[in-house]
Amino acid sequence: MKLSDFRSDTVTKPSPAMRRAMAEAEVGDDVLDGDPTVRRLERRVAELLGKDGAMFVPSGTMANQVALGVWTRPGDEIVIERSGHMVTWEGGAPGFVHGVQSLTLAAESGALDPDEVRRAIRPKSPHCPRTALVCVEQTFMGSGRAAGGRVLPRSNLEGVRAVAREAGIPVHMDGARLWNAVVASGVEARTWAGFADSVSVALSKGLGAPVGSLIAGPADFLERAIPVRKRLGGWMRQCGILAAAGLHALEGNVERLAEDHALAKSLARALHGKKGLACPPDEVETNIVFVQVAHPRLDAPKLSAALKEAGVLVLPQTASALRFVTHLDVGAEDVQRLADALDRLL
């Protein structure tokens, strides 16, 4: 049975054209001499983001952790939203790998209050950790009702950047789904990236590449990032095969993200109001739909398990919320299959 997989936009498979690009990629040893296709990808992403350069790494988690390794030292502290990816879904790496602690602020939509950020910055004191970095996420996934692929407003990011600059603290942007923000807002990637000193972007989510992310920033940041990537095991050899998939994705799959956004709204319209479910379509901004479950018989994990039996895969984000993510490998027929299954189950 063909499954309708709404678990994540990371489940996409490379298209035949992408596979051809990978097979025909010009490669070299990226550690010894440099891989020419990797260099092309890095230059292209740096150009799109308006940064001095970019570094290709295997995953978004590694991209974020490279940034932490550059900007912080053991004993430092970062300021971040409490359900941000870097402190929630990266295995405790900030503390375990880098020895830094996290001061988390509550902002369900992901938009940190600049005044709260200002109050969170530590005074210079031997009794306090040094506030070394402020982290933002664009788009913001989160886990609360107001979360789910939200585009942080420009005015908010400007405010957070101003507070950080006033204190002499860099800003890192987890931009794993930055391309979704670009398409949803009509604002160029370089404008969004301009609100941060370093930016990570993913190729393996909505863009449909099989693997890979990049971390971009100023030249001195990238120079310091080289040994951090080495320590994290991120140096690869003939990785131009992977970079070719990323170049293909950037060339052909950014604008089509609008289709994923439209499908996500369609999914919300199909589900909102069904017995025990709530997901207002006007709250859907990109390709992530959080569905609140308040059914007398089924919580989110039980409903997820029942949907799996019907051929629909979805992640229970909490005991009372399901997360649906649209992508290039699902379409209107999958949404209809989901709606029909829910009619039977609810």
Residue 171, domain CATH: 3.40.640.10
pTM for this one? 0.94
- Please tell me the total number of residues recorded for the chain in this structure: 346
Q: Are residues 270 and 201 in the same domain?
A: no
CB atoms < 10 A from the CB of 259, how many? Answer: 15
- The answer to whether position 6 is within a domain reads no
Q: Are residues 216 and 147 in the same domain?
A: yes
Q: What CATH number does the domain containing 293 carry?
A: 3.90.1150.10
Q: Are residues 303 and 178 in the same domain?
A: no
Q: Are residues 170 and 93 in the same domain?
A: yes
Q: Are residues 111 and 202 in the same domain?
A: yes
- Among residues 233, 229, 244, 249, which one has the least CA distance to residue 54? 229
Q: Are residues 135 and 178 in the same domain?
A: yes
- What is the per-residue pLDDT for 195? 98
Last residue of a domain, one of 203, 236, 252: 252
DSSP string for 263-320? HHHHHHHHHTTSTTEE--GGG--SSEEEEEE--SS--HHHHHHHHHHTTEE-EEEETT
Q: Are residues 271 and 299 in the same domain?
A: yes
- Among residues 228, 222, 221, which one has the least CA distance to residue 93? 228
- The answer to whether position 171 is within a domain reads yes
Tens of each residue's pLDDT in the chain, 346 residues: 789 999 999 999 999 999 999 999 999 999 988 899 999 999 999 999 999 999 999 999 999 999 999 999 999 999 999 999 999 999 999 999 999 999 999 997 899 999 999 999 999 999 999 999 999 999 998 766 667 899 999 999 999 999 999 999 999 999 999 999 999 999 999 999 999 999 999 999 999 999 999 999 999 999 999 999 999 999 999 999 999 999 999 999 999 999 999 999 999 999 999 999 999 999 999 999 999 999 999 999 999 999 999 999 999 989 999 999 999 999 999 999 999 999 999 9
Last residue of a domain, one of 252, 286, 308: 252
245 Rama sector, left if φ>0, alpha if ψ -120 to 50, beta otherwise: alpha
DSSP string for 309-328? HTTEE-EEEETTEEEEE--T
CB atoms < 10 A from the CB of 141, how many? Answer: 24
CB atoms < 10 A from the CB of 282, how many? Answer: 9
Q: Are residues 239 and 311 in the same domain?
A: no
Q: Are residues 111 and 47 in the same domain?
A: yes
- What is the per-residue pLDDT for 145? 64
Last residue of a domain, one of 195, 230, 252: 252
Q: Are residues 171 and 203 in the same domain?
A: yes
- Among residues 293, 292, 213, which one has the least CA distance to residue 249? 213
Angle between helices 332-345 and 257-271 (to 10 degrees): 20
Q: Is 313 exposed, middle or buried (0-12, 13-18, 19+ CB in 10 A)?
A: middle
Angle between helices 300-309 and 332-345 (to 10 degrees): 110
- What is the per-residue pLDDT for 108? 76
Q: Which domain holds residue 293?
A: 256-345
- What is the per-residue pLDDT for 343? 95
Structural tokens at position 47: 């150009």
* Residue 140 and residue 184 in contact, taking contact as beta carbons nearer than 8 Å: no
- Among residues 148, 184, 206, 188, which one has the least CA distance to residue 262? 184
Structural tokens at position 222: 């990238």
Q: Are residues 274 and 327 in the same domain?
A: yes
| Total number of domains constituting the chain | 2
Q: Are residues 35 and 149 in the same domain?
A: yes
